[in-house]
């Protein structure tokens, strides 16, 4: 009888420890994220309030980024291609002059039509960048940075618009159902890990 009680107690203790571990694994990352509102590929402004009740993966990039951004989007497309994974992807463009909402929408749809792009006035983008303690650089505006190179892309459509190369933060932010940042990833984070974390947030 005592043994049985001890066994039950041990099992309960283990469960309690396991649940504690689950919470501890995705602590709220204070100081990251916050409220914003900006124009999106949905044709209206969106902000964290629009995604209450569902986890969000947010990251920064731009469509003239030929390497890391499409690699990250492809990586996430493999994650979100699984219907069991309930998460909203938000792609915040750091090149809003080039990435108009219509352009961004056509670009993102290639990866997953459900992805939402954010492109707005530079000040609004900068505000989101600051909220997530991210950063980006473009040549000509921050002469001290060493990381980027301006280039003029040869346009075949003759509209004469300029394209730039940016360097930018690589992080992918996982927001919970209350828009609190709970984890950060990068383009090489295993899909299984992100899937498990998203599941844990959906179960909260």
Partner 1 sequence: MSVFRRAVWPRVLPLLLAALLLPPASADSKIHIEDVWVRSLPAVSKVNSGYMVIHNHGDAGDRLLKVRSDLAGEVEIHKSEEVDGHYRMQRVPGIPLPAGSCTTLQSGGYHLMFKGMTRAPAVGERVPIWLTFESAGDIRVDAEVRPVGSIPTASAQANGHHHRH
* Least distance CB 139 / partner 1 (angstroms): 10
CB-nearer residue toward partner 1: 170 or 199: 170
CB-nearer residue toward partner 1: 48 or 61: 61
Contact 61, 68 (CB under 8 A): yes
**Half-sphere exposure at residue 129, Cβ-oriented, CA atoms within 13 angstroms:** 21
CB-nearer residue toward partner 1: 20 or 186: 186
* Least distance CB 93 / partner 1 (angstroms): 13
* b/e code 119-158 from CB counts within 10 Å (16+ = b): bbeeebbebbbebbebebbbbeeeeeeeebeeeeeeeeee
Helix (H, G, I), strand (E, B) or coil at 175: strand
* Least distance CB 24 / partner 1 (angstroms): 12
d(Cα 188, Cα 13) in Å, to the nearest integer?
A: 35
In SS3 terms, 71-112 reads as: HHHHHHHHHHCCCCCCCEEEEEECCCCCCCHHHHHHHHHCCC
* Least distance CB 53 / partner 1 (angstroms): 24
* Least distance CB 11 / partner 1 (angstroms): 29
**Which spans of this chain sit near partner 1 (rule: CB under 8 A)?**
29, 63-68, 70-71, 73-75, 77-78, 103, 106-107, 109-111, 135, 137, 147-149, 151, 153-156, 163, 165, 167-171, 183-191, 193
CB-nearer residue toward partner 1: 4 or 157: 157
CB-nearer residue toward partner 1: 48 or 171: 171
């Amino acid at each position: 009888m005592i043994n049985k009680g001890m066994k039950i107690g041990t099992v309960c203790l283990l469960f309690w420890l396991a649940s504690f571990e689950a919470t501890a694994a995705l602590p709220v990352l204070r100081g990251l994220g916050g409220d914003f509102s900006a124009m999106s590929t949905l044709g209206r402004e969106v902000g964290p309030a629009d995604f209450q009740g569902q986890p969000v993966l947010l990251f920064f990039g731009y469509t003239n980024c030929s390497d890391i951004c499409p690699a990250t989007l492809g990586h996430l497309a493999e994650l979100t291609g699984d219907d069991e994974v309930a998460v909203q992807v938000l792609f915040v463009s750091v090149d809003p002059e080039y990435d108009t909402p219509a352009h961004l929408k056509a670009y993102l749809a290639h990866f997953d039509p459900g992805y939402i792009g954010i492109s707005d006035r530079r000040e609004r983008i900068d505000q989101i960048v600051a909220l997530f303690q991210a950063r980006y650089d473009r040549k000509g505006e921050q002469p001290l940075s060493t990381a980027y190179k301006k280039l003029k892309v040869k346009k075949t459509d003759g509209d004469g618009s300029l394209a730039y190369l940016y360097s930018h933060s690589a992080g992918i932010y996982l927001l919970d159902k209350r828009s609190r940042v709970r984890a950060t990833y990068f383009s090489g984070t295993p899909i299984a890990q992100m899937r498990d974390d998203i599941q844990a947030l959906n179960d909260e």
